[in-house]
Amino acid sequence: MQLTLWTYEGPPHVGAMRIATAMRGLHYVLHAPQGDTYADLLFTMIERRGQRPPVSYTTFQARDLGGDTAQRFQDTLRDAHERFRPQAILVGASCTAELLQDDPGGLARALDLPVPVIPLELPSYQRKENWGASETFYQLVRTLARAPAAPRTHGRPLCNLLGATALGFRHRDDLREVRGLLQALGIGVHVVAPWEATPDDIARLPEADFNVVLYPEVAQQAAAWLQRRFGQPFTHTVPIGTAATRRFVDEVAALAGVPVPPGLVSPRATWYAQSVDSTYLSGKRVFVFGDATHAIAAARVAAHEIGLTVVGLGTYSREFAREVRAEATALGLEALITDDYLAVEEQIAALQPDLVLGTQMERHIAKRLGLPCAVISAPVHVQDFPARHAPQMGVEGANVLFDTWVQPLMMGLEEHLLGMFRGDFEFHEDAPASHLGRSHAALPDRAPLPVDDIPIPAPPSAVAAAAGAALDRAAGDGSPAWTPDAELELRKIPFFVRAKARRNTERYASERALTQITVETLYDAKAHFAR
Amino acid sequence: MITIRPVGAGGCTEAPVLRERGQREVFCGLTGIVWLHRKIQDAFFLVVGSRTCAHLVQSAAGVMIFAEPRFATAIIDERDLAGLADANAELDRVVARLLERRPEIRLLFLVGSCPSEVIKLDLGRAAQRLSQQHAPEVRVLSYSGSGIETTFTQGEDACLAALVPGLAADDRPGLLVVGALADIVEDQFRRLFDALGVGPVRFLPGRRATAMPGVGRGTRYLLAQPFLADTARALEERGAQRLPAPFPLGVEGTTAWLQAAAAACGVPRAHVDAVLEAPSRRARDALAAHRSHLAGRRVFFFPDSQLEVPIARFLARELGMSLIEVATPYLHRSHLAEELAWLPEGTRLAEGQDLERQLERCRSESPDLVVCGLGLANPLEAEGMTTKWSIELVFTPIQGYEQAADLAALFTRPILRRHALAEH
């Protein structure tokens, strides 16, 4: 038994639902108890679909367990076929039905329906959602794909786009980006699957020249089978990030035998990352966690395209643990392979990164720890199925990544500035917006302050007095005390490095057993640490 | 299978009920955890189930899962399925780890699920064993929230029924209000009971495991929720007596509910009327605006929480809506007797569900408003229907006078919104 507060992935039958819901003309009959329909609302609410998933549930109850659950399954299957008239049907069991003795495949065969019925064996107590999606897609392809009747008389090269599903993180928009790239290369898209494909489309997959695997978690197994069975090669590069998109373009161009037009992959993000405003991003420490594909891609983009320092990399996708480990090793890290969000939280808390790139869970962990965060991978909540075009892949994807990841950092910097300036006479928390001018110095719901009462910077004498007080306080605890002159000099240093200068000077003085910090000490320390 | 009962006269007391079986688009009882753990502040709910159960609870709980939630799932894996003795040892280990992490927990519920019921893991015995191990700091109880046995709010019924045998014996006369209510609603009722001179009044569940009410032969209990069949039975086994009343939804329901308590305690009717006059008038005034938007509109209820009958009664009688079909997952005739008598004659009542047939009926009626779950709401909106998603009726404070207009607003909002968006 595993104690779980949060799960990154649902059970494998939810993976099968993601395939069925992505497709057209396919129906899934699921042997499941009352309540398992909760999964419908992942599609209708999180992804905001306007149709119910094409899934019929047997909804067996305790009183059925004596014997007629098999009959219920057959009745549900027959009704679903009559009502929806699908081109093909998936049948399977959810976790509870897996414990019963009914055999959905055998029961379906006995009904002898006039359409292909594909039984799914999804071991709920060993496997999870992505595995379920991959297995379902593989079984569909295995069962339905047909050798082309005749070799195609060659026009332009054709490929299939494989892996986009319902409830996939940005799958809708990634497809549009990748289609655009292929079009620019003069490569035709034969079938997109499972996204909006019919079972007939699946049957036509082998007619294409090669396959583009967009999401290995879902499509690699099916693509590998298509390669073995029909000799279709498939792509291994996932075009997330500028460099990966360039490699992807080269890969598909080579498979299709077409040239790559110059300047095809030139996202604005490349220049944005080079522009001086981005200099402060250098060396920012980032923690990356997600599904294997997005985590690996994000680590590369962070390190090589935005110039961050990756301090942690991990995934919940055990199926692709090897790939993530290899990527982590290349970055000099040890990969975190876990589906326990407490372990992820522990590592983030220990690393205290400047930015967290992760899933919905990391977003909440980061919020709790007060760290900036951006979402790069499923599982995600409703806000990450946006109305606007927001791909992760291709040229526009690279732009989206830059904006999405840098924004929380910018906000982090703003927050930092606000903290720095808190108490500043014209930039304190009750200050009105500066564009409202002096005449609006008081907020409408407050009594207006007489102009004389507006705090003004303390005169040097007051600062000196305050510094003197500080000197008195400091004298007692044995740490070096600041002379009033030194304290005044310190205040001339820009605020954003002042704290560091104070710390360094005090350290310098302590190490040398000085009891007083003078202006000389301040500059001695500056020179010392500048070396 | 459809059974039609003969038609009688007056309200819906003898009305025929369409009983259906088929696909049900409803939550299982595990979902009750989401609000129960907010109510009992030192209780922890440990589901013993599959990854599906964990996924369901997290989907239903949304972002709440991160505020150090007091619920979790012990996920059964293939090793547990190999042998039952193993599973018990595993459960003990998980519970020990959990209680180590959360030393402030005083009451632990082991919540049964479909997988744990099907493999016949005896959680009742496990709860006894663990209670002994962790006494006196922690008491361990068990109940089933499985889909094969419970629908949505029935999870609360199962939970409260599990609490009843452990309640202290107390034969003194007193009133017990049964069913989890939002704290603000509970406090309002407490003030009204005080003003009426009814008491002492206790609430089940209490807000803390260590402050649960007592029960005995002097206890009269008032159901605050319509889905508490097993809890009521368990209370009666302890000698408590139910006060028949409609449910405290809307002005009429709230008034009659409070009157039932006052009458049982011998409070003079004139005093009751005087106390309730101001709050009921305020609530009626607040409802007037909603009535102008809702009167005459036709509403269709899909089954969800068992709150459908009392809410439909409120919408029909106080807001002038007309009821096409009122479906409920389970119809408890005696607990709903007062409600059924108040339902307009001829209302189509349905118990259970055959989803596709019900959708056909709904489409053919083209109602002005459909009350349904989140799995159906967007698809029906996409078909052009206006919907009100029903889970909100369970999570929002809706009982009592001060919430009557809030309850009406839940139905007004989608109608006004559709109107607002259609204007441009």
Going by C-alpha positions, the residue among B195, B178, B55, B48 that lies closest to residue B119 is: B48
- Domains of chain B, residue spans: 17-24+269-423, 29-150, 174-245+253-265
Q: Which residue has the higher pLDDT, A283 or A128?
A: A128
pLDDT in tens, B182-224: 999 999 999 999 999 998 999 999 999 999 999 999 999 999 9
Is there a contact between A241 and A300 (Cβ–Cβ < 8 Å)? yes
Q: In this structure, how many other beta carbons lie within 10 angstroms of the beta carbon of residue B220?
A: 17
Interface of A with B in 395-454 (CB under 8 A): none
Q: Cα distance from A130 to chain B (closest Cα, Å)?
A: 13
Q: Cα(A379)–Cα(B120) distance, rounded to whole angstroms?
A: 33
* Catalytic option among A79, A277, A424, A472: A277
* Residue A441 pLDDT > 80: no
The pLDDT, as a whole number, for residue A457 is 42
* Residue A424 pLDDT > 80: no
Q: If one looks up domain B17-24+269-423 in CATH, what number appears?
A: 3.40.50.1980
* Residue A181 pLDDT > 50: yes
A10 assigned to a ligand binding site: no
As a whole number, mean pLDDT of residues A411-427 equals 61
As a whole number, mean pLDDT of residues A156-174 equals 97
Which of B51, B76, B95, B98 is the best mutation test for A, with the most CBs of A within 10 A? B51
Query: What would you report as the CA-atom Rg of chain A, rounded to the nearest whole angstrom?
Result: 30
SS3 assignment for A30-98: EECECCHHHHHHHHHHHCCCCCCCCEEECCECHHHCCCCHHHHHHHHHHHHHHHHCCCEEEEEECHHHH
**Predicted confidence band at A526 (pLDDT cuts at 50, 70, 90)?**
confident
The pLDDT, as a whole number, for residue B271 is 97
**Predicted confidence band at A472 (pLDDT cuts at 50, 70, 90)?**
very low
Interface of B with A in 83-142 (CB under 8 A): 87, 90-91, 93-94, 97-98, 114-115, 117-119
pLDDT in tens, B77-101: 888 888 766 889 999 999 999 999 8
The pLDDT, as a whole number, for residue A274 is 94
| Domains, chain A, ordered by start | 12-135 (3.40.50.1980), 158-256 (3.40.50.1980), 268-407 (3.40.50.1980), 481-530 (1.10.8.550)
Q: If one looks up domain B29-150 in CATH, what number appears?
A: 3.40.50.1980
Question: CA of A47: which chain B residue's CA is closest?
Answer: B378
Q: Cα distance from B142 to chain A (closest Cα, Å)?
A: 17
As a whole number, mean pLDDT of residues B234-257 equals 98
As a whole number, mean pLDDT of residues A434-457 equals 43
State whether ipTM is beyond 0.90. yes
Please check whether the two domains, B29-150 and B174-245+253-265, share a CATH topology. Answer: yes
pLDDT in tens, B342-391: 999 999 999 999 999 999 999 999 999 999 999 999 999 999 999 999 99
* Residue B111 pLDDT > 90: yes
* Residue B256 pLDDT > 80: yes
The pLDDT, as a whole number, for residue A422 is 55
Q: Is A94 on the interface with B (CB under 8 A)?
A: yes
As a whole number, mean pLDDT of residues A429-451 equals 47
The pLDDT, as a whole number, for residue B291 is 96
Inter-chain residue contact B55 with A14, CB threshold 8 Å: yes
Going by C-alpha positions, the residue among B387, B389, B390 that lies closest to residue B370 is: B387
As a whole number, mean pLDDT of residues A415-423 equals 61
Where are any strands of DSSP class E within B180-224? 201-204, 219-223
**Predicted confidence band at A412 (pLDDT cuts at 50, 70, 90)?**
low
Q: Where does residue A471 rank: exposed (0-12), middle (13-18), buried (19+ CB within 10 A)?
A: middle
Catalytic, A277? Answer yes
pLDDT in tens, A345-388: 999 999 999 999 999 999 999 998 889 999 999 999 999 999 99
* Residue in B114, B151, B356 closest to A96 by CB: B114
Q: Cα(A303)–Cα(A273) distance, rounded to whole angstroms?
A: 12
Distances (CA, A) of B371 to B308, B332, B375, B399: 9, 20, 12, 18
Mean of the per-residue pLDDT values of chain B: 94
**Predicted confidence band at A66 (pLDDT cuts at 50, 70, 90)?**
confident
Q: Is A85 on the interface with B (CB under 8 A)?
A: no
The pLDDT, as a whole number, for residue B225 is 98
Q: Cα(A22)–Cα(A54) distance, rounded to whole angstroms?
A: 9
pLDDT in tens, B12-59: 998 999 999 999 999 999 999 999 998 999 999 999 999 999 999 988
pTM value is 0.88
Strands across the sheet containing B201-204:
B201-204, B174-178, B219-223, B241-242
Inter-chain residue contact A125 with B78, CB threshold 8 Å: yes
Name the strand (E) or helix (H) holding A446.
Answer: none
The pLDDT, as a whole number, for residue A25 is 98
Q: Which residues pair with A337 in a beta bridge?
A: A315
* Residue in B26, B97, B377 closest to A37 by CB: B26
**The total number of residues written for chain B in this structure:** 424
The pLDDT, as a whole number, for residue A450 is 40
Q: Which residue has the higher pLDDT, B323 or B84?
A: B323
B114 assigned to a ligand binding site: yes
Inter-chain residue contact A37 with B25, CB threshold 8 Å: yes
The pLDDT, as a whole number, for residue A101 is 84
Q: If one looks up domain B174-245+253-265 in CATH, what number appears?
A: 3.40.50.1980
Inter-chain residue contact A65 with B118, CB threshold 8 Å: yes
Q: Is B360 on the interface with A (CB under 8 A)?
A: no
pLDDT in tens, A330-349: 999 999 999 998 899 999 99
For A327, what's the count of Cα atoms within 13 Å in the CB-facing half-sphere? 28
- A48 to chain B: which residues are within 8 Å by CB? 378
- A41 to chain B: which residues are within 8 Å by CB? 59, 373-375
- A339 to chain B: which residues are within 8 Å by CB? none
The pLDDT, as a whole number, for residue A417 is 67
The pLDDT, as a whole number, for residue A283 is 85
Strands A516-517 and A481-482: parallel
Mean of the per-residue pLDDT values of chain A: 88
A5 assigned to a ligand binding site: no
Highest mean pLDDT among A142-156, A274-288, A421-435, B132-146: B132-146
Q: Cα distance from A51 to chain B (closest Cα, Å)?
A: 5
